[in-house]
């Protein structure tokens, strides 16, 4: 009886996957046709994404990719973990989580996710530990939040400081809220030793080059995808939903921010108003599809599941919105 009930469900799973693959294939073919019909328009969007990557992302992230990889390969994570383990154990996290969070908060997306993947590959954390760390170690950095968004887009250093504070606090508070419901996790049975110093510079630079190119590719693709979805009015229902609660400029910025956070922040800053900075806090904390895909590209190799991770990021985004709104009121911004 058990087998007769289980078999139909087993047959449905491959059919669903095949149907999803077929639907995705049709969408991709349609997008190719759209790009072929208006090549200049979408080439300009792609170039805009590459320009953003070259001017803002490459110089701010590439050195951190190399340096964090060097630290991890030299065993700095394990040494720091031993000192911080009494603190992190209270949060039911491995000691190395503090090291990963610190580097993520200083460097920005997707450095934390890359470090988690490296630690998992080295045997320093288990799959379940990596899943817990992924919620904490996925933050934007001060260079982007204060410099790019606050200073360049909103033209206000105070706005950048409020954005950074609400972003970091939201990530920490949401993670701490789940601590009472978590069970302690066992440490990895064995830990591999750190790489020898012979070839770590080459390995770190090579890995950093591949990583930063992948980041640029994601940004360019999502700039094009955002424009295509806008041209096809596919995002219009989501924009109308946001428009029930916010002015049109904020609704548009949030809608675009769900796909690509940087572009969304630029639109929000241009629109201005009371909700512009809190909406930007949501966008950078949630990350948008572009940043989420970058992070999951690393986290998947550590066994982190997409749905719970995206759900936590959405909660952190909502928390960042509310915190930023409160801080704007306190400091008279908006």
What would the pLDDT profile of 167-200 be if each residue is shown by its tens digit?
999 999 999 999 998 888 887 775 555 555 568 8
Contact, 87 vs 98, CB < 8 A? Answer: yes
**Mean pLDDT for the stretch of residues 111-131:** 91
Neighbour tally for 151: CB within 10 Å: 14
How far apart are the C-alpha atoms of 218 and 224, rounded to whole Å?
10
Contact, 321 vs 279, CB < 8 A? Answer: yes
How far apart are the C-alpha atoms of 220 and 215, rounded to whole Å?
9
How far apart are the C-alpha atoms of 107 and 8, rounded to whole Å?
48
Place 24 in a pLDDT band, splitting at 50, 70 and 90: confident
The full 3-state SS of the chain, as one line of letters, equals CHHHHHHHHHHHHHHHHHHHHHHHHHHHHHHHHHHHHCHHHHHHHHHHHHHHHHHHHHHHHHHHHHHHHHHHHCCHHHHHHHHHHHHHHHCCCCCHHHHHHHHHHHHCCCHHHHHHHHHHHHCCCCHHHHHHHHHHCCCCCHHHHHHHHHHHHCCCHHHHHHHHHHHHHHHHHHHHHHHHHCCCCCCCCCCCCCCCCCCHHHHHHHHHHHHHHHHHHHHHHHHHHHHHHHHCCCCHHHHHHHHCCCCHHHHHHHHHHCCCHHHHHHHHHHHCCCCHHHHHHHHHHHCHHHHHHHHHHHHHHHCCCHHHHHHHHHHHHHHHHHHHHHHHHHCCCC
Place 12 in a pLDDT band, splitting at 50, 70 and 90: low
What does the pLDDT read at residue 2? Answer: 47
Q: What percent of the chain has pLDDT over 90?
A: 43
Domain locations along the chain: 44-183+200-330
Q: What percent of the chain has pLDDT over 70?
A: 92
Report the predicted TM-score, pTM, of the whole model to 2 decimal places: 0.85
What does the pLDDT read at residue 59? Answer: 81
Neighbour tally for 119: CB within 10 Å: 27
Nearest-10 Cα torsion for 195, 201, 207, 213: 170
What does the pLDDT read at residue 1? Answer: 45
């Amino acid at each position: 009886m058990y087998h007769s009930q289980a078999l139909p469900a087993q047959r449905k799973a491959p059919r669903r996957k095949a149907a999803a693959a077929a639907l995705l294939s049709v969408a991709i073919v349609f997008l190719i046709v759209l790009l072929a019909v208006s090549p200049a328009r979408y080439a300009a969007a792609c170039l805009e994404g590459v320009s953003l990557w070259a001017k803002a992302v490459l110089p701010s992230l590439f050195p951190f990719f190399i340096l964090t990889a060097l630290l991890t390969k030299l065993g700095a994570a394990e040494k720091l973990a031993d000192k911080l383990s009494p603190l992190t154990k209270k949060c039911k996290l491995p000691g190395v989580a503090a090291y990963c969070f610190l580097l993520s908060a200083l460097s920005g997306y997707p450095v934390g996710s890359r470090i988690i993947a490296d630690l998992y590959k080295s045997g320093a954390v288990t799959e379940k530990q990596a899943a817990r760390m992924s919620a904490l170690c996925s933050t934007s950095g001060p260079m982007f939040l204060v410099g790019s968004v606050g200073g360049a887009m909103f033209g206000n250093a105070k706005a950048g400081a409020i954005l950074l504070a609400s972003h970091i606090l939201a990530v920490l508070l949401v993670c701490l809220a789940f601590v009472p419901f978590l069970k302690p996790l066992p440490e990895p049975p064995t830990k591999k030793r750190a790489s020898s110093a012979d070839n770590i510079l080459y390995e770190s630079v090579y890995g950093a080059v591949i990583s930063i190119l992948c980041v640029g590719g994601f940004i360019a693709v999502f700039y094009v995808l955002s424009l295509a979805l806008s041209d096809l009015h596919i995002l219009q229902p989501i924009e109308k939903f946001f428009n029930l609660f916010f002015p049109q400029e904020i609704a548009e910025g949030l809608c675009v921010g769900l796909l690509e956070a940087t572009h969304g922040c630029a639109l929000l800053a241009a629109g201005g108003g009371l909700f512009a900075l809190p909406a930007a806090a949501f966008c950078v904390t949630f990350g948008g599809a572009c940043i989420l895909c970058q992070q999951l590209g690393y986290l998947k190799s550590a066994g982190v599941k997409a749905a719970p991770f995206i759900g936590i990021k959405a909660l952190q985004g909502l928390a960042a919105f509310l915190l930023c709104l409160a801080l704007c009121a306190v400091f008279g911004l908006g």
